[in-house]
Amino acid sequence: MGGHRPVLCDAALQALAIRSDGLYVDGTYGRGGHAAAILEHLGPEGRLWVVDRDPEAVAAAREQLGEDARVTIIADSFAHLGEHLTAVDLNGSVDGILLDLGVSSPQLDQGERGFSFRHDGPLDMRMDPTRGEDAASWLARVEEKELVRVLRDYGEERFARRIARAIVAAREEEPITTTGRLAALIAEAVPRREPGRDPATRTFQALRIAINDELGELDRVLPVALEALTRGGRLAIISFHSLEDRRVKRFMRDEARGDAPPDMPLREDQIRRRLTLVGGARRAGEAEVDENPRARSAVLRVAERRD
């Protein structure tokens, strides 16, 4: 594992309340930090499923865990977890699911993946480079109005219109195919910089979310994860920006409140509440943030299946 300590690892393990003979899912393997920690708490009868749509993450899982008979490795989006569990009659039997959302450190560190403005490389940004449209192709065809929307909605970028206009003008002269050129365009377009933040941060986040349909994938996986859990099973989700966290918070809150119409008086036994919230939002402490700055924006939310 190269000494890598994943974000909020201790809090996530505590949240999952791991039983040595339980069945657990790490739906975002990355480079396996959380998975390795879960395995340490499992006995011979315990089982762990690891899921990732990034082929490099899947290759890492096979190298690191492939000989462990307790482990099942799934090369797919976590939104399809239910289909894989149903195929082996395990849907509804999972004791805990962990999702660590967003981009992984290895993806950011490899310039050729195109996720980072800090490393010049091809403008790709796909979690699975074998499928779908890369960021360069998308930027070459997207209409300016749609680009503005993406930058505002997914990056919360206040200079979205300026940046979109600069990108559209630049691509008329030459295709934007590298992260370095895109970052330079953004830097020129942004009139004022946020202290301590690169001007390309919000745009790169927005494009990555759009290219990988990250919010759509999250919306799809939440009900899938709920159905996968057994009674008493825990769902633990780590998010890194408000767009993700709001969706997770709303889903858990709504399932904890139940399906009763707000204007209809019902007895407690007539309301179907499928989740119980387990504590509030949890964040990394100072020591963890000092060791891993990425943890600063991490939020962990936990809920338990009721029925």
Domain with 252, as residue range(s), is 9-106+214-305
- On whether residue 237 sits in a domain, the answer given is yes
The Cα–Cα gap between 208 and 134 comes to 10
Predicted confidence at residue 271, as pLDDT, reads: 65
Predicted confidence at residue 12, as pLDDT, reads: 96
DSSP state of 10: H
Element (H, E) at 239: strand 229-239
Q: Are residues 32 and 170 in the same domain?
A: no
Predicted confidence at residue 307, as pLDDT, reads: 83
Predicted confidence at residue 2, as pLDDT, reads: 41
Tokens, residue 19? 């039983």
Backbone phi, then psi, for 239, in 5-degree steps? -115, 165
Q: Are residues 43 and 129 in the same domain?
A: no
Beta bridge partners, 275, equal: 305
Predicted confidence at residue 268, as pLDDT, reads: 58
Q: Are residues 73 and 43 in the same domain?
A: yes
DSSP state of 196: T
The Cα–Cα gap between 157 and 201 comes to 9
For CA atoms 56, 206, 236, 256, give the dihedral sign.
negative
- Ranges of residues in the chain whose predicted pLDDT is under 70: 1-4, 104-112, 259-271
- Where does the chain have alpha helices with state H? 9-16, 33-40, 55-65, 81-87, 105-109, 135-141, 144-155, 160-173, 179-189, 201-212, 214-228, 242-257, 286-291
The Cα–Cα gap between 101 and 121 comes to 23
Beta bridge partners, 235, equal: 97, 303
Predicted confidence at residue 102, as pLDDT, reads: 73
Q: Summarize the annotated binding site as residue ranges.
A: 32-34, 52, 78, 100, 107
The Cα–Cα gap between 107 and 274 comes to 35
- Judging by DSSP bridges, how do beta strands 47-52 and 23-26 pair with one another? parallel
* CATH at 168: 1.10.150.170
Q: Are residues 222 and 73 in the same domain?
A: yes
Predicted confidence at residue 258, as pLDDT, reads: 81
Q: Are residues 177 and 221 in the same domain?
A: no
Please count the residues of the chain.
307
Helix axes 160-173, 179-189, angle to 10 degrees: 130
* Closest to 229 measured CA to CA, from 190, 188, 270, 276: 276
* Closest to 284 measured CA to CA, from 100, 38, 97, 32: 100
- On whether residue 3 sits in a domain, the answer given is no
* Final residue belonging to a domain, choices 212, 244, 261: 212
Q: Summarize the annotated binding site for S-adenosyl-L-methionine as residue ranges.
A: 32-34, 52, 78, 100, 107
Tokens, residue 147? 């680009």
